[in-house]
Each structure stands twice: as structure tokens, then as C-alpha cells.
Amino acid sequence: MLLLGLLFPSLLHAQQISLDLFGGFANYQGDLQPKKFSTDQARGAFGLGLRYGLTDHFDVRANFTYARVGAADKFNKSNSALLQRNLSFETKITEGSLLLDYNILSLNYHSFTPYVFGGVAIYHFNPYAYDTLNNRVYLHPLSTEGEGLSQYPDRKPYHLTQFAIPFGGGVRWRVTDNVVLSYEIGLRKLFTDRLDDVSTTYVDQATLIAAKGSKAAEMAFRGGELKTGAAYPADGTKRGGSEFKDWYYFSGITVSIGIGSTRTRGGMSDRGNISCPKKVL
């Protein structure tokens, strides 16, 4: 162990397996939530993961995160067109991710460090909304924008399980030898504009009803539910902005609890093995 510490000190200091417990909020950016980063209409997010220290500065971690996101046009007070559209959605998100962290400072020698991360993720979503009777209605089967209908061959049904690119950053504090506290903001670049089931234009109302039933037309445009109710828009009228993909993001606190470590402390490892001395400064 002493020879290993002399030859590869960064590996000896860093080898640590930690259990990560995450809690915070989730939100999204899309056609019903135009703000790039906001706590408006945010929901909760919770996660569990394992982290392995590769070196003093690099960690690899595998996470599972459960969250909810959603938004409603009625909160977009600055845009009268969105108020008249009167759409809303929610979705549960289950995500598995594999991430590589870079800690700018080594927590073996410092109690605090900023860090950045990136990786890959796979997630599942299934948007729904509540009708006038407060029944939950899943939107994907309704083809609200003509997905899968022969009259609109360019509109394919979207997949409910997809890949994402997670990245972000945060700060970490070492609380004890085996406990690290982190605050993190993590963005997810998506490859779909359908997280909220809104993307392109309205389709013909009669065609939609014939193919999917009256509930599909009811959930595709909900301006008629307002006191100033408007008629269902004409085929081809803009419903969403397909030029930009949706995003979702998490922000919160992670508690990392060491469950296997050779982090050095005063020349001894956490497990009592003789190791190379820790730096004084």
C-alpha cells in the first residue's frame, strides 16, 4: 500500500464508493414554460445513486431520479394568445444516468470545491392533463397534433422513452471524512419537442374526432373552457414552436455517504492501512 501510494498517490487518495441521496425540484422549458430557468410551477425530484472516485478530481456516478414536471398556459399572464389556448400538462419522469464529474479542487485536501459534470441518460415520460371533470387524460394516445394519422403522414408518434444529454455543475462541501454535501443544477438536453405534447400546428377538428374521438379535440384546444371561449382553430394554425426542443432540469441537495474508502487522513487510510502522508497545505 505504501509503494502504491508513492507511485500513484492520486488513485490512493481518491478510491471511494459513496451512496448519493438527492432531493430538490424539477422544472422544464418548452411551449408551456418559456422561461429558461425558473422555480415557477416547479415540482419535486428525488434520486438515488452510487459514486466512485477515480482520482482526486474525477468521479463517475450512476443515478436513478424520479421527478414530476408540468406547466399551464393560465400562468403565462404576459401572452394573451397562450391564455386563450389554455393548455396544461404534467408528466412523471424516471431517469437513469451515467455521469462523469470533474472536481476543480481535491476534497482530500480542501473542504470545498466547485465541480462540473456531463454524461448520458435515458428517461421515460408520459404527458397527461386533467379534463373539466378532473379526470386524468393521457395525451400521447390522442394524437392531439395528428401524430400517426394518415391525413398527416409527416407527423409520426413520438417515443415515450428517449435519450438525453445531462450536464451542469455545483459545489461540494466535505462535512466529515465520510459525508459530502453538494448543491447541483443539472440540465437535460432533449431530442424531442413533445415532452409537453405541444409542438407544431392544430389539425382539422373533424378529422381528429373521426380518428381519435371527441376527447382528443377537447384536449387539443381548451380555449372553449374559458368564459371568453374561442372556437377550435383552423387546420394549420400554430399550436407550438417546433423549432426548439424541450428541456428539463433538476436542482437540489445531494448527501454522499462513503461506504468504502481509502481516502487518506494524517498518513493513515480510513480503513487503517498505512498510506502516504496527506499534504499540509
CA distance 110 to 6: 21
Interval 32-41: pLDDT, tens: 998 889 999 9
Q: Is residue 277 part of a domain?
A: no
Q: Is residue 134 part of a domain?
A: yes
Distances (CA, A) of 273 to 14, 120, 239, 260: 14, 36, 65, 13
Interval 20-78: pLDDT, tens: 999 999 999 999 998 889 999 999 999 999 999 999 999 999 999 999 999 999 988 77
Q: Is residue 278 part of a domain?
A: no
- Counting every residue written for the chain, the total comes to 281
Start-end of H helices in the chain: 2-7, 9-14, 80-85, 205-212, 214-220
Residue with cell 435515458: 122
Main-chain phi, psi angles of 226, to 5 degrees: -85, 160
Nearest CA to 160 out of 194, 189, 188 is that of 194
Instruction: Using the predicted structure, report yes or no on whether residue 281 has a pLDDT greater than 60.
Output: no
Give the up-direction half-sphere exposure of residue 48: CA atoms within 13 A in the CB hemisphere: 1
Asked if residue 252 lies in contact with residue 20, where contact means CB atoms within 8 angstroms, the answer is: no
CA distance 119 to 228: 47
Q: Is residue 40 part of a domain?
A: yes
Question: What is the number of domains present in the chain?
Answer: 1
Nearest CA to 108 out of 12, 249, 188 is that of 12
Q: Is residue 214 part of a domain?
A: yes
pLDDT at 4: 39
Main-chain phi, psi angles of 84, to 5 degrees: -70, -30
Interval 201-241: pLDDT, tens: 999 999 999 999 999 999 999 998 988 878 999 999 999 98
Nearest CA to 45 out of 63, 24, 27 is that of 24
Q: Is residue 280 part of a domain?
A: no
**CATH code of residue 153:** 2.40.160.20
Distances (CA, A) of 84 to 72, 73, 80, 132, 226: 11, 8, 6, 16, 8
What domain range includes position 235?
Answer: 2-269
Q: Is residue 232 part of a domain?
A: yes
**Cell of residue 265, nine digits:** 487522513
Q: Among 78-92, 114-128, 147-161, 209-223, where is mean pLDDT lowest?
A: 78-92
CA distance 246 to 29: 6
Q: Is residue 120 part of a domain?
A: yes
pLDDT at 12: 45
